[in-house]
Amino acid sequence: MPTKLIHSLSGIFLTLITCTVGLADESLTEQLEAAKNRVTGPSFDIRYKFKVGEVVRTRVEHLVTVETKIQGVSETAQTRSVSTKSWKIVHVDEQGNIQFIHQVDDVEMWQKVTDRPEVRFDSRSDKDVPPEYRMVAESVGEPLAKITMTPYGEITDRENTRPNVPLSIADLTVPLPGKPIRLGERWTVSTKVPVRKSAADPIKNVKTRQVYTLEQVKTGVATISVKTQLLTPVDDAAIKSKLVQRMQNGEIRFDIDNGRLLSKQMDLDETVQNFHGADSIMQYLARFTETLVKDEPKTATQPVQGPKLKR
């Protein structure tokens, strides 16, 4: 057999091996790009960095509009919450593990449902608390939990000081890669979401995965994209309607030099049909933002308005 033909067949054989390995998770293009990233370009160690005595505050805004239509009857529910979240750093060990007290310093809330009066509450100015927000109002300004996390955002210990107040760990920290990474590299966080069709039905655990990608590093600030993937096949529209608020995509900006979140924005725009019988439809629109604040929060001067649904 001619030598050139042997070399050609060898090259084809090696190409086939390359194409076969890892096809379950990534395309060939993604594998080649990942391989390129592993051998070229600088690496970045993205981690939290705090000092004992620091108080780190972020402004959190959550807008949600849910429009449903069941048997020809339409309803729109809108909510808006704006709060100041604070971490008081109480201990940092030699490995960089951080212990902090988590609390909400103030909160402003609003909700409106079709054919019902608006409900508002601002902890900085309102003395009368609507029943819907009583539990939230009682927790404002009080320590909610003592959290211990690694410098890469992994929660290793959590002591709730107010057990009745819901605290989402997923929204509390940003899961970082845990090792130096290069531009274009990814890391994932898998979770199981318990959902049930109705109160009488058994709980079903649905697997999801958030994929984080280091998109850019400029002047010490890392830009990270976030995409949520549904790993468990879900054909039931009623179950899908429970999952939509978990399917968020967005962007994170992280200050590598100072080791803290600068901003986070997660968007969601999902439509589910036949979730409650034939011809029913639900559109879920939401935006979650969190931004680092350097100064004390100021009282809002504009009236609170709910998010508008896209058409």
Residues 209, 65 within the same domain: yes
Identify whether residues 245 and 98 lie together within a single domain. Answer: yes
Q: Rounded mean pLDDT of 142-151?
A: 94
Q: What is the mean pLDDT of the chain?
A: 83
Task: Pick the range with the lowest mean pLDDT from 23-32, 98-107, 191-200, 257-266.
Answer: 23-32
Q: Is the pLDDT of residue 82 over 90?
A: yes
Are 28 and 124 members of one domain? no
Q: Give DSSP secondary structure letters for 144-208.
A: EEEEEE-TTS-EEEEEESSTTS---HHHHSPPP-SS-B-TT-EEEEEEEEEE-SSTTSPPEEEEE
Looking at the predicted structure, is the pLDDT value of residue 267 above 50? Answer: yes
Residues 265-277 have a mean pLDDT of 91
Give yes or no: residues 21 and 86 share one domain. no
Q: What is the mean pLDDT of residues 232-238?
A: 87
* CATH number for the domain harbouring residue 248: 2.30.230
- Indicate if 21 and 62 belong to the same structural domain: no
pLDDT tens across 56-80, in order? 999 999 999 999 999 889 999 999 9
pLDDT tier, 164 (very low <50, low <70, confident <90, very high otherwise): low
Residues paired with residue 190 on neighbouring β-strands, in sequence order: 209
Examine the domain organization and report whether 183 and 212 are in the same domain. Answer: yes
Q: Which two tokens mark 76?
A: 């729109």
Residue 302 lies in a domain: no
Domain count, the chain: 2
Domain match, 196 and 78 both: yes
Does residue 217 sit in the same domain as residue 230? yes
Which has the higher per-residue pLDDT, 163 or 282? 282
86 has a pLDDT exceeding 50? yes
139 and 16 assigned to the same domain? no
The span from the CA of 221 to the CA of 213, in Å, is 14
Are 149 and 97 in contact by the 8 Å Cβ rule? The answer is: yes
pLDDT, greater one: 163 or 153: 153
Instruction: State residue 301's pLDDT score.
Output: 39
CB atoms closer than 10 angstroms to residue 87: 21
Q: Residue 47's closest CA among 290, 292, 256, 263?
A: 256
Q: How many whole angstroms separate alpha carbon 215 and alpha carbon 268?
A: 20
Confidence of residue 311 (pLDDT cuts 50, 70, 90): very low
CA geometry: angle 134, 139, 141, nearest 5 deg: 130
- 3-state helix, strand, coil split of the chain in percent (to 5) is 15, 45, 35
Q: How confident is the model at residue 95 (pLDDT cuts 50, 70, 90)?
A: very high
| Domain coverage including residue 259 | 41-293
- The answer, yes or no, to whether residue 229 has pLDDT greater than 80, is yes
Task: State whether the Cα torsion 292-215-266-157 is positive or negative.
Answer: negative
Q: Percent of the chain having pLDDT more than 70?
A: 79
CA neighbor of 19 nearest in space, from 34, 32, 10, 7: 32
Whether residue 301 lies inside any domain: the answer is no
Q: Are 27 and 137 within one domain? A: no
pLDDT of residue 17: 33
Write down the pLDDT at residue 30. 55
123's CB contacts (< 8 A; 6+ apart) are 106, 107, 108, 137, 140, 141
Please tell me whether residues 78 and 2 are part of one structural domain: no
193 with 182, same domain: the answer is yes
Per-residue pLDDT for 299 more than 50? no
**CB-CB neighbours of 96 under 10 Å:** 15
